[in-house]
Amino acid sequence: MNEQAGAGAMPTEEEAGGAGAGVTNQPLPGWRGDEAPGDAARQAVALQPAELVAHLTALLYAAEEPLPVEQAARVLEVSVAVAAAAAAQLEASPPPGLAVQRHGEALRLVTAPASGRYVERLLGGPGVSRLSRAALEVLAIVAYRQPLTRAEIDALRGVNSERALETLLRRGLVAEVGRRDTVGRPVLLGTTPAFLDYLGLRSLAELPPLEVRERSEE
């Protein structure tokens, strides 16, 4: 990390405004500037919205894992509402070539899908190989029905999905996200941030609508 960050004078509006096109110092929704007590309150007042978005961008860049908005709010010493508003502004206007990926209430800074082929060229090829048809079927079921158990996946497919699931778990596209509060407490499965990377999505909200085909009456 750059040890000079935060030292000296407060960044100017022009310096802080580089977080993304269209980021301005207009008050963010929920912004009061008095969310923290004592010295933290004076710091919060000093931070302009564009500066807050810039600092949030830096946090996402430095974070090794998806950063929860609540944790970002604590680090920035502002309310969760203000941090969420800054996150929404960053999502709407990310830095060129980058995108904000949302996984639940956590955020990641990733390369934009439009730049994917150039990033792959730099890294020497696609990051993951193609999945089998069975693995894709299981992945689709988990994506649209999560969280769900292995038994529920098998019931939906009508066949044993153990091998396909092991592939998805090994590739990090699916992970254990909890346990169902029933007899035996079976493991619940859900998608991961790597799943969003695999499909080039910013959030699960970008999944295409699931088409349900009704059987015609005979």
CATH number at residue 57: 1.10.10.10
pLDDT category of residue 113 using cuts at 50, 70 and 90: confident
Tell me: do 105 and 154 sit in the same domain: no
Average pLDDT along the chain: 80
Q: Are residues 19 and 91 in the same domain?
A: yes
Domain that includes residue 178, residue range = 133-205
| φ, ψ at 67 (rounded to 5°) | -100, 115
- 31-81 per-position pLDDT tens digit: 444 444 444 444 445 578 899 999 999 999 999 889 999 999 999 999 999
Question: Do 43 and 102 belong together in one domain?
Answer: yes
| Residue 89 domain-assigned (yes or no) | yes
- Give counts: helices (H), strands (E), the chain: 10, 5
Question: Is position 53 within any domain?
Answer: yes
Residues ≥6 apart with Cβ < 8 Å to 207:
143, 144, 201
Instruction: Please indicate, yes or no, whether residues 109 and 198 belong to a single structural domain of this protein.
Output: no
Q: Are residues 164 and 193 in the same domain?
A: yes
**Taking phi first (over 0 means left), then psi (-120 to 50 degrees means alpha), and beta for anything else, what does residue 77 get?**
left
Q: What average pLDDT does range 126-146 have in this prediction?
A: 86
Q: Are residues 50 and 102 in the same domain?
A: yes
Q: Is 97 found in the same domain as 65?
A: yes
Are 21 and 106 part of one and the same domain? yes
Do 186 and 104 fall within a single domain? no
Of 12-21, 103-112, 124-133, least confident by mean pLDDT is: 12-21
Residue 4 is assigned to a structural domain of this protein: no
Instruction: Look at residue 95 and tell me whether its pLDDT is greater than 60.
Output: yes
Count: domains in the chain: 2
Q: Are residues 109 and 137 in the same domain?
A: no
Tell me the C-alpha distance between 118 and 157, whole Å: 37
Q: DSSP for 73-142?
A: HHHHTS-HHHHHHHHHHHHHSPPTTEEEEEETTEEEEEE-GGGHHHHHHHHTS-SSPPPPHHHHHHHHHH
Domain edge (last residue) among 78, 113, 148: 113
157-185 pLDDT tens trace: 999 999 999 999 999 999 999 999 998 89
